[in-house]
Structure 1
Amino acid sequence: MAVKASSADNRTRSTVSLCIVIGMCCFFYILGAWQKSGFGKGDSIALEITKRTDCTILPNLSFDTHLAKQARPRDLVSPAKKFKPCPDRYTDYTPCQDQNRAMKFPRENMNYRERHCPPQKEKLHCLIPPPKGYVAPFPWPKSRDYVPFANCPYKSLTVEKAIQNWVQFEGNVFRFPGGGTQFPQGADKYIDQLASVVPIANGTVRTALDTGCGVASWGAYLLKRNVLAMSFAPRDSHEAQVQFALERGVPAVIGVLGTIKLPYPSRAFDMAHCSRCLIPWGANGGIYMMEVDRVLRPGGYWVLSGPPINWKVNYKGWQRTKKDLEAEQNKIEEIADLLCWEKVKEIGEMAIWRKRLNTESCPSRQDESSVQMCDSTNADDVWYKKMKPCVTPIPDVNDPSEVAGGAIKPFPSRLNAVPPRIANGLIPGVSSQAYQKDIKMWKKHVKAYSSVNKYLLTGRYRNIMDMNAGFGGFAAAIESPKSWVMNVVPTISKMSTLGAIYERGLIGIYHDWCEAFSTYPRTYDLIHASGLFTLYKNKCNMEDILLEMDRVLRPEGAVIMRDDVDILTKVNRLALGMKWNTRLVDHEDGPMVREKVLYAVKQYWVGGNQTAAAAA
Structure 2
Amino acid sequence: MVIGDSKNNLFWTCGILGNFLLVPRLKELEFCPQEFENHVPCFNVSANLALGSSNGNEYDRLCGHEPRQNCLVLSPVNYKIPLRWPTGRDVIWFANVKITAQEVMSSGSLTKRMMMLEEEQISFRSASLMFDGIEDYSHQIAEMIGLRNESNFIHAGVRTILDIGCGYGSFGAHLFSDQLLTMCIANYEALGSQVQLTLERGLPAMIGSFMSNQLPFPSLSFDMLHCARCGIDWDQKDGMYLIEVDRVLKPGGYFVWTSPLTNFQGASKDRTKEHKKTGDFVHSFAENLCWEMLSQQDETIIWKKTSKRNCYSSRKPGLGPSTCSKIQDVESPYYRPLQACIGGTQSRRWIPIEERTTWPSRAHLNKSELALYGFHPVEFADDTDYWKAAVRNYWSLLSPVIFSDHPKRPGDEDPSPPYNMLRNVLDMNANFGGFNSALLEARKSVWVMNVVPTNGPNHLPLIMDRGFVGVLHDWCESFPTYPRSYDLVHAAGLLSLEIGQHRRCTMLDLFTEIDRLLRPEGWVIIRDTSPLIESSRALTSRLKWDARVVEIESNSDERLLICQKPFFKRQAN
* TM class by smaller structure: 0.7 to 0.9
Using the alignment, how far apart are the partners of 2:320 and 2:78 within structure 1?
Answer: 60
Q: Does the CA-based 8 Å contact 2:285-2:320 persist in structure 1?
A: no
* Aligned counterpart in structure 1 of residue 26 of structure 2, from 71, 80, 99: 80
| Deviations, residues 2-35 of structure 1 (Å, cap 9, x unaligned) | xxxxxxxxxxxxxxxxxxxxxxxxxxxxxxxxxx
Using the alignment, how far apart are the partners of 1:601 and 1:265 within structure 2?
Answer: 33
**Does the alignment pair 1:492 with 2:461?**
no
Q: What residue ranges of structure 1 are gaps of 5+ in the alignment?
A: 1-52, 60-73, 611-616
Report 1:218-367 matches (<5 A).
Answer: 218-236=171-189, 239-311=192-264, 313-316=265-268, 321-360=271-310, 364-365=314-315
Q: Does the CA-based 8 Å contact 1:88-1:609 persist in structure 2?
A: no
Cα deviation, residue 354, structure 1: 0.6
How does the TM-score come out when normalised to structure 2? 0.86
Report 1:77-156 matches (<5 A).
Answer: 79-119=25-65, 122-155=67-100, 156=102
Deviates more, 1:150-159 or 1:215-224: 150-159
Aligned partner of residue 96 in structure 1, secondary structure? coil
**Does the alignment pair 1:390 with 2:341?**
yes
Using the alignment, how far apart are the partners of 2:106 and 2:51 within structure 1?
Answer: 27
Cα deviation, residue 218, structure 1: 1.1
Aligned length: 528
Q: Does the CA-based 8 Å contact 1:81-1:574 persist in structure 2?
A: no
Using the alignment, how far apart are the partners of 1:404 and 1:415 within structure 2?
Answer: 17
User: Which residue is 2:405 aligned to?
Assistant: none
| Matched residue type, 1:498 | L
**Does the alignment pair 1:430 with 2:381?**
no
| Matched residue type, 1:594 | D
User: Which residue is 2:492 aligned to?
Assistant: 530
Using the alignment, how far apart are the partners of 1:294 and 1:324 within structure 2?
Answer: 28
User: Which residue is 1:470 aligned to?
Assistant: 431
User: Which residue is 1:502 aligned to?
Assistant: 464
Cα deviation, residue 250, structure 1: 1.0
Cα deviation, residue 171, structure 1: 0.6
Report 1:565-604 matches (<5 A).
Answer: 565-587=530-552, 589=554, 593-604=556-567
Aligned partner of residue 210 in structure 1, secondary structure? strand
Using the alignment, how far apart are the partners of 2:380 and 2:363 within structure 1?
Answer: 12
Using the alignment, how far apart are the partners of 1:529 and 1:518 within structure 2?
Answer: 18
* Aligned counterpart in structure 1 of residue 134 of structure 2, from 187, 196, 203: 187
* Aligned counterpart in structure 2 of residue 448 of structure 1, from 385, 393, 398: 393
Cα deviation, residue 449, structure 1: 1.1
Q: 1:542 to 1:467 in 2, by over 3 A?
A: same
Using the alignment, how far apart are the partners of 2:294 and 2:444 within structure 1?
Answer: 30
Cα deviation, residue 168, structure 1: 2.4
Aligned partner of residue 97 in structure 1, secondary structure? coil
Q: Does the CA-based 8 Å contact 1:457-1:478 persist in structure 2?
A: no
* Aligned counterpart in structure 1 of residue 167 of structure 2, from 206, 211, 214: 214
Q: Does the CA-based 8 Å contact 1:556-1:603 persist in structure 2?
A: yes
Cα deviation, residue 78, structure 1: 5.7
| Matched residue type, 2:492 | S
* Aligned counterpart in structure 2 of residue 607 of structure 1, from 530, 548, 570: 570
Cα deviation, residue 309, structure 1: 1.4
Q: Does the CA-based 8 Å contact 2:98-2:192 persist in structure 1?
A: no
Q: 1:568 to 1:201 in 2, by over 3 A?
A: same
Q: Does the CA-based 8 Å contact 2:288-2:319 persist in structure 1?
A: no
| Matched residue type, 1:315 | A
Report 1:504-523 matches (<5 A).
Answer: 504-523=466-485
Cα deviation, residue 362, structure 1: 5.8
Q: 1:433 to 1:526 in 2, by over 3 A?
A: same
Cα deviation, residue 331, structure 1: 0.6
Q: Does the CA-based 8 Å contact 2:263-2:298 persist in structure 1?
A: yes
Aligned partner of residue 328 in structure 1, secondary structure? helix
Supply the RMSD in Å over aligned alpha carbons.
Answer: 2.8
Aligned partner of residue 177 in structure 2, secondary structure? helix
Q: Does the CA-based 8 Å contact 2:17-2:534 persist in structure 1?
A: no
| Deviations, residues 308-358 of structure 1 (Å, cap 9, x unaligned) | 2132x2424xx9522211111111011111111111111211111111112
Cα deviation, residue 431, structure 1: 3.2
Using the alignment, how far apart are the partners of 1:185 and 1:79 within structure 2?
Answer: 59
Q: What residue ranges of structure 2 are gaps of 5+ in the alignment?
A: 1-12, 400-415
| Deviations, residues 31-51 of structure 1 (Å, cap 9, x unaligned) | xxxxxxxxxxxxxxxxxxxxx
Q: 1:221 to 1:96 in 2, by over 3 A?
A: same
| Matched residue type, 2:29 | F
Using the alignment, how far apart are the partners of 1:415 and 1:131 within structure 2?
Answer: 39
Cα deviation, residue 371, structure 1: 3.8
Cα deviation, residue 75, structure 1: 9.0
**Does the alignment pair 1:557 with 2:522?**
yes
Cα deviation, residue 100, structure 1: 4.1
Which protein has the bigger helix share? 1
Cα deviation, residue 451, structure 1: 2.8
Q: Does the CA-based 8 Å contact 1:211-1:272 persist in structure 2?
A: yes
| Matched residue type, 2:194 | Q
Using the alignment, how far apart are the partners of 2:53 and 2:131 within structure 1?
Answer: 31
